[in-house]
Structure 1
Amino acid sequence: MKKWILGLFLLAALGAAAQDLRVEYTEGLVELASGGSWKELAPGDRLPVGARIRLAEDAFVELAQGSTRFAVSQPGVYLAADLVAASKKVASWQLGKVVSAKVKGTVAGGAKGDGTAAMGARGAAAGAPATVEWVEASGSEEALSEGRSLLEAGRLDEALKVLQDALKAAYPGEEGVFYYYIASAYSGQKRTSLALRTLERAQLEPQEPLYTDLVLLKGQLLLESLAFADALALFEGQLVLNPEGSFAQALLILSSYSYQGLGRSQGAREALQKAVSLDSSSELGREAARLLTQL
């Protein structure tokens, strides 16, 4: 009988341990409440689901529970259990499907020249000598094509190496394309914090082919890091400039998730209704209609 009871206690202890969270990455000041004070967290630290953590302004933390990895990018004090619940909710949204339905590049397929076509022109505009520009542009295009192929094949580590090496040789004005794809690779690795930081350096203009892809990826990353208000501000700003078309539909669907994260169910419903009204027969229109039935 005693052995049986001891076994139950051991199982309970193992179950509790399995619920612990592991710190995978920190940037800035991230702290754990400990005995009336705060202790700075570092990668490798473990904390129970009942723990409280605090993020300073501009801090990031990535946590893992088993095979699940998620990020937090907003300053404040949080219960670890609440973060786990919110991250599971966000994971259930399968945001990548919404983004890939619109995105032209990365693993979604589409016109493969979108990223490379602008590179020569951007290099020239940045003042590179014409006789040198085309040699370098050809090398950049080749590296970008290789990096994209590796991304599509899911070989993310190799893609990162190719793209990062090519970035070092890129002309001023060409870097934005490489930063975008590097951020895409980090996103695929669930390294959300690095993906967001990298995307901040991808300075693309609204008229460039990859700009909408960049906006959608940034929105996805903000949602995945539980930055619902920041994501909503991004989507609303873009909707003012792009009120129609498939880009607008994707923005509206992602906006509905932002509203849900903020607890504003009516806003979520209205965003989806508008997405349907733009084009009910499109893939995104049908997805918006399906999501409406679940609210």
Structure 2
Amino acid sequence: MGRKGISKVDLKRVKSLDLLTYYQNYEPDELIKNGWNDYSTKTHSSLHMSNGLWCYWAKNIGGKMALKFFIEVEGWDFLDAALYLKDLIDKQPPKIKTNQNTINNRPFRLPEPNINNATARNYLMLERGIDKEIVDYCIQNHYLYEAKRDHSIIFIGYDHHHYPQYAAKRATSSTLKIDVAGSKKENCFNIINDQSKVLHVFESAIDLLSYLTLLKKQGRNYLNENYLSIGGATILGSHIEESQIPTALETFLKRNPNIQKINLYLDNDKAGKDTTKKIIYHLNDHYIIHDNSPYRVKDMNELLKKKIKTNISIDDR
């Protein structure tokens, strides 16, 4: 006898269950509190949960839903995971902890800026190879700045009213990369030219700026088209038809209906390749899509640094 399915109503309930709420209600003994706003588990030291979201650093996977965690980290079949969570919810409706609810609804605030951007400029130009003119352009146009508290770089994303709604924080003295609390992923870092029908898509803001630098080195106009960072990538689950395109990309395309061509430059790893597959699967009938992701180096910044050392072509990815 075949397995039973799951109704749309029940699936909606399952998808509304975030991972931290799952652990708080159904596996509380697994939780380890690392700070007032950060949790991991005894089984998965690489798993961190904060602000209603989770990230599994060992595989570079993240999200909100408990369902996604069971599929992409634990390796469960979609239906098995959905029915398991449905049964838990039916037997014991989850209670959302008050302090978590407050965290999830924290207002977005940009970190206080430093009196200058010297550390950020030096990091981007000397450590990452980003062109000085491009760094200065981004600072002058309020795309990035240096935080006062820890001298990290804050990459800003704006909504359609040009109001800051997203910030990605990149440390200059460690490998820390996080979104500022309250950030709305649909407003990831981007540079727009509304006269262009072409969109270039990257995982991170630094990869985006690396590509602009490569264009400038070839004497090309680096502000001639549209450029978007999607704020990371995720591994594909068992069923590509159940997948979604990145929220930042979906929102950008809705706001910019003039886009006809999409060029992808995602990382040369499983998460990057899987996200490329998802984008092509869902959008190939509506846009001209080219996968220009690097295949000899990890990402666009490594390609830029290799270019600086060896003077290779931008096409030698």
Same fold by TM-score greater than 0.5: no
Rg: which structure is higher? Answer: 1
TM-score norm. by structure 1 comes to 0.36
TM-score norm. by structure 2 comes to 0.34
- Which structure has greater strand proportion? 2
- Which structure has greater helix proportion? 1
